[in-house]
Amino acid sequence: MCNRLRILTLTLLFAIVPSVMADNPRPSFEIGSSFLWGSATALGLRNGSYDNPISRLVWPVPPSPAVELSVKWPWSAWTSSLVALEAAFPFVAGSMVDEDWNTGAAATDYSYAHSQHQGKMTSHWSARAEQTFSLPGGFQVGLGGLYRWTTWEGWDGNGRYVQNDGQVIDVSFSGLLVSYQQQWYIPYLSGSWTLETRGWKLTPSVRFSPYTWCVDMDHHIYAGAPTTTFIDKIQGGVYAQGGVEAEFQGTQNWSWGVRGGWEMAWGALGETTVIKSSQSSGAVALPYRTISNAGGAWFQETSFTVFVKN
């Protein structure tokens, strides 16, 4: 009985494995030239509410060229692995806006403050890995993860500060004032559908995550010396991405196409650690403290890509 079971098992394996193996189990490579733009936001929250912030810094993702590289390995006829990298090369600066509301009860505290600075995106890259499963009818579902890293610097600018006593103060700034970085860790589910006709394919796709993680750091500088650093460790919120791709057959060995997409993460919330240096006012008391539900962040980005793949 045992021998018969072994023989039946081996027979089934030899019958199933060839049917599920990919017809051409070799990796395919893609290189793309992209153009992207968008923004990222850092929030200082009051009572953990996005609707009533203490401060908000909106950083630009200025129109920037980028390079995309990816490799896809078909493990079988119904599943494949994808690894993709993207790096942007910002050549122009944008505008960074810093706003504060109701900073305190004293007469010299601000009821509202607004300043605008030159926002330089100094680095921007992402990495993505995904396992995809094919379904009948041209549908695909997947499980993946996304990592994003972006850094900025805020330079020069002008500001207006409205105190509680009604006095309005106009200020001009010079030099490096603040640097900021965002790191996102996003697991996601994906879905797509491919319409294939003679010589070309059309594929709309989506990615979604009901939970995200982000670590960001806001580093303030005055007269060339560091003053206060804010480190946020936040989680939650949602991530969503939508796009459409058109691919055209070039020759038997390669194809080319265009792809457009939009993505965003919003609603993450967490603790803020405040670190004051010896140069900052009020640093004698509480040089280091952590505040619960005081940090928030989000980003949104649009991209357009022209690609070639084998």
Residues 184, 167 contacting (CB under 8 angstroms): no
Read off the pLDDT of residues 158-170 as tens digits, 9 standing for 90 and up.
999 999 999 999 9
- The secondary element (H helix, E strand) that includes residue 59 is strand 49-74
**pTM attached to this predicted model:** 0.87
According to CATH, what is the number of the domain 35-309? 2.40.128.90
Residues 152, 122 contacting (CB under 8 angstroms): yes
pLDDT reported for residue 289: 83
| 10 contacts: CB under 8 Å, gap ≥ 6 | none
Closest CA to 216 of 272, 178, 294: 272
Read off the pLDDT of residues 31-59 as tens digits, 9 standing for 90 and up.
999 999 999 999 999 888 888 899 999 99
More confident residue, 11 or 256: 256
pLDDT reported for residue 4: 45
pLDDT for residue 14 is more than 50: no
Helices (H), the chain: 2-20
pLDDT reported for residue 20: 44
pLDDT reported for residue 286: 53
How far, in Å, CA of 51 to CA of 232, rounded? 18
